[in-house]
Structure 1
Amino acid sequence: MTAVLAADAALLGFARALREAGVDASAERVYAFLCAVEALGRVSDVPSSDTRPGPGMRADVYWAGRLTLCGDRDDLERYERVFAACFGDGEPVGRRPAPAPVPRLRLVLQDVESERRTPASDERGTTPTAALASSAEVLRHRDVAGLDTAEREEVRRLLAAFALHGEARRSARRRPARRGEVDPHRTVRELLRRGGEPARLRRHTRTERPRRIVLLVDVSGSMAPYADALLRFAHAAARGSRTEVFTIGTRLTRVTREMAHRDPDLAMTAVAAAVPDWRGGTRLGELLRAFLDRWGQRGMARGAIVVVLSDGWERGDPELLGAQMRRLHRLAHRVVWANPRKARPGYAPLAAGMAAALPSVDDFVEGHSLAALERLAAVVRGAGDA
């Protein structure tokens, strides 16, 4: 029973990662997914006289999720990416092998000793798929600063499946709709097409579009253990058309163009070449003022969701940082601060820079792990609170 519950938890974690990637995996779809996996698991476990082998657990999970969790053509690419991140690349289960033109019988010699299995190996919870998903679920809550090389590589694969969307807002543009205000132009054109005969009233409603997201990523020395993960999180967010990315340290560098590479490793290489102040000091107040003077005041921060990913250590004047944060708060729709140090036991925002900035912050969240970044994405999307 424990192994089955662990497998279900791993599958729920996979569905949660799909939702974070932008797939509309509703509760009904997730329930259908779990039922399909259970049904396929029972079929694959029952011995059959058919000479064809039953599908493996990984293929069962793949096809069950693809047929129940994906509701749009755009979901397929996201599904492939998240599935590879959670369960590993393995064989390309997404492509069915071509059938052989002429079936042939072949004699297979089996070792009797290899067929002997221990009771533990018969449990469903020990399948490779459940083990991989469980390890990914545990890794989600690990502090990025304490990971080894292999775990960091796994975190990078999981971060590649992220998607960050800003909170939706109503725009001035309108679109045809069944309900809403009467559209006089379309209604008159319909009357003219009918020769003046009465026609159905045409209606329209305002469209919604996500707000612009501005990410300010601290790459100073105190943030070195988290800089790579946060920049890869920013790269996943930059796949949206309304996301701007800056690095802050001793200088302010706009790296939106470097983040445009689809490959995360190429993007990180381009960012490393463009940023001259890796692992330096931190001048948050001066750099925030530079951002507002050059970009924010002119419109980039107006109505946007500005996310500062920093531990709040400030070498400059804290009063300057507080004044610029108040200025930013007046321009932006929301100001979110993600601090990796917030998750540590006994943490309190007593650093001068953090204490000066906090009164102008709408949401103060953690940023030390994948789970914390998922919560940050929910806050930015307007679906969760800190």
Structure 2
Amino acid sequence: MYDADRLAVIFARRLRDEKMAISTGSVALFVSAISELDPADRDSLYWAGRAVLVKAPEDIDTFDRIFRSVWLGQPQDAPPAAMAVQESVDESEPEAGGAGLQSSTTTTAARYSPVEVLRGKDFGEYTAADFVSAQRLMADFRTSAAMRRSRRRRPAAWRRHSQPDIRATVRRALRTGGEPIRRAWYAPTLQPRRLVLLCDVSGSMDPYSRALLRFSQAAVAARRRVEAFTMGTRLTRLTRELLSRDPDEALRRAGAAVLDWSGGTRLGESLRDYNDEWGMRGMSRGAVVVILSDGCERGDPCVIAEQMARLSRVAHKVVWVNPLKASPGYAPLAQGMAAALPYTDEFVEGHNLDALGDLIDIISK
């Protein structure tokens, strides 16, 4: 293991020993972040770790103390690393004038790690390098839909949350002269709900469709019972193309399969095709359905309302992800969006990595 990666794991273990809540996903994200940084740049390592691992203000002092010990080799009563960054910038500040404002801006910028900046950056503003870095972070996403009871049963050791298993109880009684001395119980097994992702690839979604399709690929490749489609002027199923663990290869195959990329928008017709061919035949039943679209529609919005109503009746949850929702002053005035909202359980943003992290939390509930 690379030395910085090994130190990151040790660092996380030390934080857990101090009663900080550090998830495995957070550790993986921190390791991914430091792979993009210069290991000798301790300031960047500090802010990357603080952005990813610190969840509560009261944990900052503990984080600072353990960071000094693990990464700097300093006694735990040395000045906090955060203060060292602040002081190194403040010392170069002029006393007055415009240069002071510039130095203040530098101080503010030093408080954010590159990963934190990338997570908050709008997909529409991404450079090619940003997208490559974002792909690595999305590879760590673990999309898990809510659990549901299945028809399968399993023996239960405890009576709580279980039901009597009459057949097993009778079989046991035959071994004891017909007396049901030991009762048997069973409980239903749990399995994740199916997750269905419908991604709009029309021209109006150009700034976001590539990143959202990469999110869909990460979900499909990471677990079973995930289906992915694109919507534009037609419906295209992409589950098979996105199964590849290599995101570049998966997106290349998807690009070849989607014939209406950056074309017109027929959301209502695409939803109708999905419902008729897949959804009403069982794919949507009890599933979490996620629609990633800005809601712009060139067709009849009444078709969207009709198809969303059909979808909402069979799905466990319908989530609409609109990247434009994060825009200042946004209101769902697009005809398609307004028609769909009454049949949507969750209406969320999807313009950056942080928003997709929130989406994962919603899907899992």
TM-score after normalising by structure 2? 0.72
Q: Which residue number corresponds to residue 264 of structure 1? A: 247
Asked whether 1:86 is paired with 2:33, we answer: yes
Q: Judge conservation of contact 1:171–1:209 (CA < 8 Å) in 2.
A: yes
Q: What is the distance in 2 between the residues matched to 1:210 and 1:132?
A: 39
Asked whether 1:124 is paired with 2:81, we answer: yes
Q: Secondary structure at the match of 1:287?
A: helix
**Which one of the candidate residues 111, 114, 117 is aligned to 1:138?**
117
Q: Which residue number corresponds to residue 22 of structure 1? A: none
Q: Which residue number corresponds to residue 371 of structure 1? A: 354
Give the superposition deviation at 1:83.
4.7
Q: What is the distance in 2 between the residues matched to 1:334 and 1:200?
A: 41
**Which one of the candidate residues 151, 166, 171 is aligned to 1:172?**
151
Q: Which residue number corresponds to residue 73 of structure 2? A: none
Q: Judge conservation of contact 1:87–1:132 (CA < 8 Å) in 2.
A: no
Q: Secondary structure at the match of 1:364?
A: strand
Asked whether 1:247 is paired with 2:230, we answer: yes
Q: Which residue number corresponds to residue 227 of structure 1? A: 209
Q: Which residue number corresponds to residue 205 of structure 1? A: 187
Q: What is the distance in 2 between the residues matched to 1:192 and 1:61?
A: 59
What is the letter of the counterpart of residue 181 of structure 1? Q
Residue 87 and residue 317 in structure 1: after superposition, are their counterparts in 2 closer, same or farther (change >3 A)? same
Q: Secondary structure at the match of 2:148?
A: strand
Give the superposition deviation at 1:169.
1.3
In angstroms, what is the RMSD of aligned CA positions?
2.8
Residue 190 and residue 224 in structure 1: after superposition, are their counterparts in 2 closer, same or farther (change >3 A)? same
Give the superposition deviation at 1:194.
5.9
1:244-298 superposed Cα distances (whole Å, 9 cap, x missing partner)? 1000011110000111111111111111111111111110011111111111111
Q: Which residue number corresponds to residue 127 of structure 2? A: 148
Residue 326 and residue 279 in structure 1: after superposition, are their counterparts in 2 closer, same or farther (change >3 A)? same
Q: Judge conservation of contact 2:8–2:27 (CA < 8 Å) in 1.
A: no
Q: What is the distance in 1 between the residues matched to 2:275 and 2:125?
A: 35
Q: Which residue number corresponds to residue 158 of structure 1? A: 137
Give the superposition deviation at 1:67.
8.8
Q: Which residue number corresponds to residue 89 of structure 2? A: none
Q: Judge conservation of contact 2:12–2:27 (CA < 8 Å) in 1.
A: no
Q: Which residue number corresponds to residue 44 of structure 1? A: none
What is the letter of the counterpart of residue 228 of structure 1? R
Q: Which residue number corresponds to residue 328 of structure 1? A: 311
Q: Which residue number corresponds to residue 103 of structure 2? A: none
Q: What is the distance in 2 between the residues matched to 1:202 and 1:374?
A: 43
Q: Judge conservation of contact 2:293–2:321 (CA < 8 Å) in 1.
A: yes
Residue 317 and residue 163 in structure 1: after superposition, are their counterparts in 2 closer, same or farther (change >3 A)? same
Q: Judge conservation of contact 1:216–1:309 (CA < 8 Å) in 2.
A: yes
Q: Which runs of 5+ in 2 are unaligned?
A: 17-22, 39-78, 86-109
What is the letter of the counterpart of residue 244 of structure 2? H
**Which one of the candidate residues 275, 281, 298 is aligned to 2:264?**
281
Q: Secondary structure at the match of 1:314?
A: coil
Give the superposition deviation at 1:235.
1.2
Give the superposition deviation at 1:184.
2.5
Q: What is the distance in 2 between the residues matched to 1:182 and 1:134?
A: 56
Give the superposition deviation at 1:310.
0.3
Q: Secondary structure at the match of 1:300?
A: coil
Identity among equivalent pairs (%): 51
What is the letter of the counterpart of residue 120 of structure 2? H
Q: What is the distance in 1 between the residues matched to 2:325 and 2:133?
A: 24
Give the superposition deviation at 1:372.
0.6
Give the superposition deviation at 1:80.
8.2
What is the letter of the counterpart of residue 60 of structure 1? L
Give the superposition deviation at 1:196.
5.7
What is the letter of the counterpart of residue 353 of structure 2? L
Q: Which residue number corresponds to residue 61 of structure 1? A: 8
Q: Judge conservation of contact 1:86–1:132 (CA < 8 Å) in 2.
A: no
Give the superposition deviation at 1:60.
2.6
1:143-173 superposed Cα distances (whole Å, 9 cap, x missing partner)? 1111222222111110111111111112221
163-172 or 284-293: bigger deviation: 163-172
Q: Which runs of 5+ in 1 are unaligned?
A: 1-54, 70-74, 92-121
Q: Judge conservation of contact 1:220–1:280 (CA < 8 Å) in 2.
A: yes
Give the superposition deviation at 1:341.
0.3
Q: How many equivalent residue pairs?
A: 289
Q: What is the distance in 2 between the residues matched to 1:84 and 1:226?
A: 26
1:75-128 superposed Cα distances (whole Å, 9 cap, x missing partner)? 98x78854542321799xxxxxxxxxxxxxxxxxxxxxxxxxxxxxx963589x
Residue 324 and residue 372 in structure 1: after superposition, are their counterparts in 2 closer, same or farther (change >3 A)? same
What is the letter of the counterpart of residue 360 of structure 1? Y
288-297 or 185-194: bigger deviation: 185-194
Q: Judge conservation of contact 1:166–1:210 (CA < 8 Å) in 2.
A: yes
Q: Secondary structure at the match of 1:281?
A: coil
Q: Which residue number corresponds to residue 315 of structure 1? A: 298
